[in-house]
Chain A
Amino acid sequence: MPKLLQLQHIRKTFPGVVALDDVSFSIAEGEIHTLLGENGAGKSTLMNVLTGFYAPDSGSLLLDGQPVRFSSPRDSLALGIGMVHQHFMLVAAHSVLENILVALQGVPLFFPRRQLRSRIEQTIAEFGIELELDTPVWQLSIGAQQWIELIKLLMRDCRLLILDEPTAVLTPQEADKLFQVLQRLKQQGKSIIFISHKMREVMEISDRVTILKKGSSVTTLEAGEFNQNKLATLMIGGDRIPEWQKSLPFSDELVLEIENLAVRNDRGLADLDNFNLQLKKGEILGIAGIAGNGQKALAEALTGLTKVESGRVLANGEDITRSCARSSYIAGIAHIPEDRKAIGIAPDLSLDENLILKNFRAKRFRHGVFQSRSAIRNNAIEKVDQFAIKAGPQGSPVRLLSGGNIQKVIIARELSEQPTVLVALYPTRGLDIGSAEYVHKVIAEGAGNGMSTILISEDLDELYKICDRIAVIFRGRLIGYADPTSSSREEIGLMMSGEVSA
């Protein structure tokens, strides 16, 4: 097949970071080409180079054999390269219609609204999606927003479509629908770059797979040349993976009960609505659901970061519903937040200081009103050793550590006071496989010591692997519990879309 686009020795650096070192591969006409790599391997950066967002430091792009240079997304669009970004490029305050209109090509200055509207409605119907054109985007679920991005892309005449982790916010059923659409586009002769780290999908859809590791392209494999194990090995290379064992069966003692919890967000919409949950001692309870169905509100309500409208949270029988973050900590609830750089750490403080952010008042860290630098330093040395943190030079800001190491810092701090409950919100998102396994290991070991964990994740594979029970959340309600040893992915998928309750 003729080559549509060739990338040769692409290199891109940011101040202090080499995001892309040396990437070369090519995309043929009418193929689905998967880019596989751990987070931080440079997939998104590479795609931003392809769409003209980032200018590469060196290397060249050849389109139809001709060298091209993009100075803005405008240039790449003009040549038929379109993309669905991982962080959606939507205007939350605008309606669905306006968001699609702004992406269309060749719309005259005084646009014929009615005519364009019916054209958009036609396309939406073609793909069997339900979208109300006049709804503002912020009222829509993340899954629906994903479809808007897809419609935007499909209504443009693109030769190369780039999809950056499109299935992360879709139910398994929706993902299947997307794959049908992609197959149809492929038959029309369009090329697709598909980014995912879900092996199952990669195996199902790819004609070829290119593996990225630490900013360089490792190899490209044709369909038939690869299987899941081979891909995983190539992705992590020689990195060592920590081993762990799932803990023993948990006891029946309840440590946390949530009764009819309701939380509203700052737009006055219900994030949690009559939500119930029971957590047992030593249990790892997974919360499955599509992103944006109330997971964040649940974690924030449990850790005292958001105001609860009604309902109760009982920890060991004690009502902690209206406590602030600090008293939640005392009640024994630790928190691994979703956005680790924004609220997980104080980015400009040192490792030592970040490790005592929560218990700096403890007697052992102070002499009267003064801090005890030596005790704080010793604590850091101990934690670095215990949690295998790759620390930078002493006293340097903690934000300079890699994502995996920052996550270890947070975990070390949160677990330092032996919490009874750990609330972990997407704790392995964006981590390489080694670090993710480490997080699982800590959670499993904690469970062995009687710590209960609420693990909120959108990755069903992760939940299946580590959880004792899986609770499914949909539009702020508990749909039901599933047993990972007996429930199928399809059953949980249907529950995630709110269609079936177990």
Chain B
Amino acid sequence: MLEILLDATVRAGTPILFATLGAIINERAGIINLGIEGLMLIGALSGFAATFTSGSLLLGVVAAFVAAFIAGSIHAFITVQLRGNQIVSGLALTMFGIGVTALFGRSVVGQTIDGFERHALPLLSKLPFVGKAFFNQNWLIYFSFLLVGLIWFFFYHTRWGLNLRTVGENPAAADACGIAVNRYRFLAVACGSGIVGIGGAYLSLASTPMWIENMTAGRGWIAVALVIFASWSSVRALFGAYLFGGITAMQLRFQAMGTTVSAHVLQMLPYVFTIVVLVISTIRQQKGASQQPGNLGLPYDREDRK
């Protein structure tokens, strides 16, 4: 019973995990991206369409990354090059994503593909309790584990990661060290968006191998909140995403068991939890030293007089 719940937790948490990781990369560079929901949809549709036409799941994932990378570049161009308002640009990106995927998704509505299937990893999947839940999954989930580690390593053990963190904390200091601030910011937004796109593709290639209009159902917004909960750390994002995955899995389980509580109330739970988590993590961060990148949300203009 618990094993099944844990398995469902990982499956429900993975798309949010990808989206949160992508958003963390954005925000570490100092750019707020509220376009996550739209980027996920763009990733979901392009991933599905690519796999549907080519038959290759790998190609689907690549297409999702590329499409979201391009869409994210719009946000990057507006916020980095033009120093526009990050909130407005991000919201516009979400609406753009919803609209454009609804429009171009019509032709593939009702089509199906062969989605990602389980591949038990040798030895690891035999571990007691966690083996089945974590290591008898599909390749996309294994990739998300890898990504958590890679991003952590990138931030804390590579020069580029250190540069990127400096750009997000204090772009003027980065500039004074000869770091190309705008280039770092642009690439962080675009690549982060690409990873968000893979999160969307997980929905249409693994969760339910088909395209449904607006199939993200607010997961992008949960990811935006999770970034704060995870205090901009990829490792804590893993826990945060699975927490939400767990609640989703649990409410589905309750419904299956036939509780008397209305299904609508149960479906609300993950979103209610988002609010609770936001309140708690905001209070926590006000008390201690905040982990938030110092210049989050602020455009950088070298000639601005302080």
Contact = CB atoms under 8 A, between A and B. Distances in A.
B159 A107 contact: yes
Interface residues of A, number: 34
A202 to B, nearest CB: 25
A102 B291 CA distance: 19
B175 A267 contact: no
Contacts, number: 81
Contact of A55 (B172, B174, B303): B303
Interface string A267-288: 1100000000000000000000
Contacts of B160: 109
A53 interface: yes
Nearest to A269: B289
A267 B289 contact: yes
Interface stretch (A70-78, A223-231, A234-242, A409-417): A70-78
B175 A53 contact: yes
- Give the interface centre of A55, A94, A107, A268 by most chain B CB atoms within 10 Å: A94
A84 to B, nearest CB: 10
B306 A110 contact: no
A257 interface: no
Interface string B162-174: 1101100110111
Given A54-B303, A55-B303, A89 B165 contact: no
A90 B176 CA distance: 10
B173 A91 contact: yes
A169 B101 CA distance: 57
B106 interface: no
B13 to A, nearest CB: 28
B58 interface: no
A271 to B, nearest CB: 15
Mostly helix, strand, loop or mixed at chain A's interface? loop
B180 A74 contact: yes
A77 B177 CA distance: 8
A478 to B, nearest CB: 28
Contacts of A53: 175-176, 302-303
A87 interface: yes
Interface string B5-25: 000000000000000000000
Contacts of A72: 175, 178, 180, 302
Given A108-B159, A110-B157, A89 B173 contact: yes
Interface string A160-176: 00000000000000000
A293 interface: no
A109 B172 CA distance: 22
Given A55-B303, A72-B302, A109-B159, A92 B178 contact: no
Contacts of A94: 165-166, 169
Interface string A82-113: 01010101111110001001110001111101
Nearest to A108: B159
A78 B240 CA distance: 43
25 contacts: A53-B303, A55-B303, A72-B180, A72-B302, A73-B176, A74-B180, A77-B178, A78-B178, A85-B176, A89-B170, A89-B172, A89-B173, A89-B176, A90-B173, A91-B165, A91-B173, A92-B169, A92-B294, A93-B169, A102-B173, A109-B158, A111-B159, A138-B289, A152-B177, A268-B288
Interface string A32-76: 000000000000000000010111000000000000000011100
A14 interface: yes
B155 to A, nearest CB: 11
B264 interface: no
A111 B177 CA distance: 17
A408 to B, nearest CB: 22
Nearest to B174: A102
